[in-house]
Structure 1
Amino acid sequence: MLRIAIVGCGLGGMAAAIALRRQGHEVTLIERFGDPKPLGAGLLLQPPGLAALGELGLLDEVLGAGQPILRLDGRTEKGRAVFDVAYPDLHPGAFGFGIHRGVLFDRLLEAALLEGAALVTGRMVTGHRLQDGKRVLAAEEGELGPFDLVVDASGARSVLREPGRTERAKPYPFGAVWGIMPMRRGHETVLQQRYRGAAKMIGRLPIGRGPKGEGPLAAFFWSLPIAQLQEWPETDMAAWRREVSSIWPEIEEEIGVFEKPGDLVPATYNDVVLSAPAGEGIVFLGDAAHGMSPQLGQGANLAIQDGVALAEAIAASEHVDAALRAFVRQRAGCWGFYQQMSRALTPFFQSDSSLLPPLRDAAFARLYRLPFLRRQMLLTLAGFKTGPLSHRRPEAVLKKVAEANRDVRRPEDCNQSNKLAKTVTVEHNARESAF
């Protein structure tokens, strides 16, 4: 049995806590907030992330709370299609899944505590050191430990990364404000985005129901440069709503729920690359290891997979450091690919460039019509890629999702599962007929 500290109640850290507790390890979750809470509004899970939740036994609850997403539709303010990507074009059973971040956070935290993980709140970890081959954590109110393993899941602004370990930690020049609003009928299975050049981007992601069962809901985001993001609290909301509506008239009624700047939460993003994501008795996962732009929507998806993969590596190795090396070898290709793609694509959608948007508008939809490129785009967006020339087989991952969902359900509780399968099939058939 190992004594393990997980710093940060992020999605990846809690996934690791659940899996490691089930292996019999002593796990302590350490959170700087007095009351652990999610940061953000909604998120999009991809099939590999859903499969990881299935391995944790949580897929049943998750599928009952969110919303299947079958298409990603991005258009200019004039209605020109930039991309129109359908999951079933990759595989008939493929879908993304929109969910309220608070709902997923609550499910993971509850599961970690039920498994017996200890929770220490209100403790800001500020550093770490080696002591007799174990890790001791420095905190504002005294030291914690020693631990056989420290898992840093504290996010892109982690203070536990030593300078020599950090190859890159650079903020992106654009962030966003996020909020939750009612989801109107129609487009419930579509993530929609609208663009005015690259400087203005709006998104609406259906996410099902909220933590108290309210809904149906959608997560809304509005892209902003960092300088304007800092001025957000002083925003004239009436003028802002007019600007949003001028780009996307259809959404005018829905954004009426945002009456004051505080109704939307600012978020910034960092590009984080580590030369050594693991060392003696310490490992970094989630945004602490590979922070990236949200352009491809892979942050939560990768973090949950990280947590499960770390536990699997520990179970398969006799020594902690050998397990950490195996974990990094398994995950590094996926991390690197999605970081590079996010870094390359972001300027086309979030920048002040006047040259890139016309190139984007002219090229992206045409590239999607080429069979090989269409498949690569779908594999990328659905989270299956493990490197530039490699990917997980969609059939194998989707089989895991289906099996996990079946295994955790009693026969009499299959209504939601059957409804989900029917929704995917019907909407795919409708799309096929349209073409």
Structure 2
Amino acid sequence: MKRLDIGIAGAGPAGLASALLLARQGHRVEILERFADVAPVGSGLMLQPTGLTALAALGLLQPIMALGSRIDRLHGADARSGRTVLDVRYDALAGGRFGLAVQRAALFGVLHDAVTAAGIAIRTGMTLTAAKTSGEKAVLTDAAGQEAGRYDLVIDATGARSTIAAGAATAPGVRELAYGAFWATLDSDGLTHDPNALTQRYDRAKVMIGILPAGRARPKARDHVAFFWSVKVGDADAVKAAGLDRWKAAIRDYWPDCAPLLDQIDDWDQLTLARYAHRTLRPPTSGRVAFVGDSAHSTSPQLGQGANMALIDAATLAHTLSLTDDIDAALAAYGRARRNHMALFQLLSLAFTPFYQSDSAALAWLRDRLVATIARIPPSPALLASIVSGTLIDPFAAAGLKECDWQAICAQPVAESAVAVPA
């Protein structure tokens, strides 16, 4: 591919990873970010073998593993009976795969430090509303309707509420999901929990409380957990109006072990209400504009694939651009390469979500009795582990990646861990 001028809208994980990959290929890249100060948004997330492999290809596996918490198991139980409802173990798959729970600040910091070290320009305070193709150029416009940049290629990484994606010729319909969640990042001191598991408690599908060990935001900092409580978005104001003490009392009643976390919350401002929507661009391109991460596909976080899909998107787009001098052909190849993996996990997320976040008592009953039983019968444990890992179908070959040797990584200290390289 000849040297391109590339504008990347958004400085989240998808935008930062895309910038690094493309700058290393020799392209001139600049990032345009709407906030005056570039910073992460959100609490904690799970990096799966897919996302970790993409970070390894960037040479960033060691620093992110030094900050995150290894996750070997996802466990959920009924809050009243204690009955196990969900038990997904990575070791049900061969190869030694695992997850890594991180604070969003940690992932942002590792990627942002690499972008800064590479000398990639970031223009802040840029509220971008549209991108259109004009001849062989892609033009970004701002909120005032003024041209913000003209490029050979624009990559939209502005997230699920992207106005750029909403105005694209391939813009999909949007399904707003009824349930969201309150999130907070809290100190784990005094908390009784499994440091290597995402742990959840349920009351039917209306209540879901979770604790995710999330490691450190920076080296030598204290360990924290991401704490979340599922809530119907339309009920959030009423929950707040009823008072923080009443909300805390309900959680203590369900899960007394949460008390050390609840004691740290003195104001609703410490909690972030996350809202979710389901949408998928097919294909994830429009003219000379490519969409990555939540701009291309968004859904509930039930399978924990969001950041991982974004990192794989970035790797796949960079790979297809490296194979040809024809930008249009490269973008078409990107759409084909991501189509099946993207469609499968969008479908799975949409299908699984009502079993854990909905008003349906029937689905919760099926989950607790039938699904939980089937999940223990082979080959279901391996199937569930491959879904959570993001590897039910292979996303690596199309991205030019070779999956990490997890057993070799686990056998070595973090500072000496082997990393994957492009195939």
Q: What TM-score does the superposition give when structure 2 sets the normalisation length?
A: 0.91
Partner of residue 178 from structure 2, selected from 173, 179, 186: 173
Q: What one-letter code is carried by the residue in structure 2 that aligns with 1:59?
A: L
> How far 1:392 sits from its partner (Å)?
6.7
Deviations 1:162-202 (A, max 9, x none): 36412321211111111011223641001001001111100
- For 1:220 and 1:310, the matched residues in 2 are separated by 34
Gaps of at least 5 residues in structure 1 are 407-413, 421-435
Q: What is the aligned partner in structure 2 of residue 411 from structure 1?
A: none
Change (3 A) 1:58 1:402: farther
Q: What is the aligned partner in structure 1 of residue 204 from structure 2?
A: 197
Q: What is the aligned partner in structure 2 of residue 433 from structure 1?
A: none
Q: What is the aligned partner in structure 2 of residue 429 from structure 1?
A: none
Q: What is the aligned partner in structure 2 of residue 430 from structure 1?
A: none
- For 1:223 and 1:185, the matched residues in 2 are separated by 21
Which sits farther off after the overlay, 362-371 or 341-350?
A: 362-371
Q: Give 3-state SS (helix, strand or coil) of 2:263's partner.
A: helix
Q: Give 3-state SS (helix, strand or coil) of 1:18's partner.
A: helix
Q: What is the aligned partner in structure 2 of residue 423 from structure 1?
A: none
> How far 1:17 sits from its partner (Å)?
0.4
Do the aligned partners of 2:77 and 2:84 also contact (CA within 8 Å) in 1?
Answer: yes
Partner of residue 343 from structure 2, selected from 336, 341, 354: 336
Partner of residue 133 from structure 2, selected from 114, 130, 133: 130
- For 2:118 and 2:136, the matched residues in 1 are separated by 28
Deviations 1:351-376 (A, max 9, x none): 11121111110022211122122221
Change (3 A) 1:18 1:76: same
Q: Give 3-state SS (helix, strand or coil) of 2:283's partner.
A: coil
Do the aligned partners of 1:69 and 1:96 also contact (CA within 8 Å) in 2?
Answer: yes
Q: Structure 1 residue 266 and structure 2 residue 273: aligned?
A: yes
Partner of residue 187 from structure 2, selected from 179, 182, 185: 182
Do the aligned partners of 1:279 and 1:321 also contact (CA within 8 Å) in 2?
Answer: no
Q: What is the aligned partner in structure 2 of residue 361 from structure 1?
A: 368
Q: What one-letter code is carried by the residue in structure 2 that aligns with 1:262?
A: D
Partner of residue 397 from structure 1, selected from 399, 403, 407: 403
Q: What is the aligned partner in structure 2 of residue 47 from structure 1?
A: 49
- For 2:396 and 2:379, the matched residues in 1 are separated by 16
Q: Structure 1 residue 81 and structure 2 residue 88: aligned?
A: no
Q: Structure 1 residue 221 and structure 2 residue 194: aligned?
A: no
Q: Give 3-state SS (helix, strand or coil) of 2:163's partner.
A: coil
Q: What one-letter code is carried by the residue in structure 1 that aligns with 2:380?
A: L
Change (3 A) 1:20 1:404: farther
Q: What is the aligned partner in structure 1 of residue 421 from structure 2?
A: none
Which sits farther off after the overlay, 137-146 or 300-309?
A: 137-146
Change (3 A) 1:314 1:27: same
If each structure's helix is expressed as a fraction of its own residues, which one has the higher value?
1
Q: What TM-score does the superposition give when structure 1 sets the normalisation length?
A: 0.89
> How far 1:251 sits from its partner (Å)?
1.6
- For 1:282 and 1:65, the matched residues in 2 are separated by 34
Partner of residue 287 from structure 1, selected from 268, 281, 294: 294
Change (3 A) 1:52 1:391: closer
- For 2:267 and 2:102, the matched residues in 1 are separated by 24
Do the aligned partners of 1:4 and 1:27 also contact (CA within 8 Å) in 2?
Answer: yes
Q: Structure 1 residue 104 and structure 2 residue 130: aligned?
A: no
Which sits farther off after the overlay, 230-239 or 107-116?
A: 230-239
RMSD: 2.2
Q: What one-letter code is carried by the residue in structure 1 that aligns with 2:341?
A: C
Which sits farther off after the overlay, 151-160 or 268-277?
A: 268-277
> How far 1:317 sits from its partner (Å)?
1.6
- For 1:220 and 1:374, the matched residues in 2 are separated by 26
- For 2:349 and 2:72, the matched residues in 1 are separated by 21
- For 2:192 and 2:251, the matched residues in 1 are separated by 20
Partner of residue 144 from structure 1, selected from 138, 143, 148: 148
Change (3 A) 1:32 1:211: same
Q: What is the aligned partner in structure 2 of residue 27 from structure 1?
A: 29
Q: What is the aligned partner in structure 2 of residue 62 from structure 1?
A: 64
- For 2:237 and 2:288, the matched residues in 1 are separated by 38
Partner of residue 316 from structure 2, selected from 309, 329, 348: 309
Partner of residue 158 from structure 1, selected from 136, 158, 162: 162
Q: What one-letter code is carried by the residue in structure 2 that aligns with 1:374?
A: P
Do the aligned partners of 1:59 and 1:405 also contact (CA within 8 Å) in 2?
Answer: no
- For 2:187 and 2:241, the matched residues in 1 are separated by 25
Change (3 A) 1:305 1:82: same
Q: What one-letter code is carried by the residue in structure 2 that aligns with 1:145?
A: G
Q: Give 3-state SS (helix, strand or coil) of 1:294's partner.
A: coil
- For 1:76 and 1:259, the matched residues in 2 are separated by 27
Q: What is the aligned partner in structure 1 of residue 414 from structure 2?
A: 416
Gaps of at least 5 residues in structure 2 are 419-423
Do the aligned partners of 1:207 and 1:217 also contact (CA within 8 Å) in 2?
Answer: yes
> How far 1:385 sits from its partner (Å)?
2.0
Change (3 A) 1:372 1:404: closer
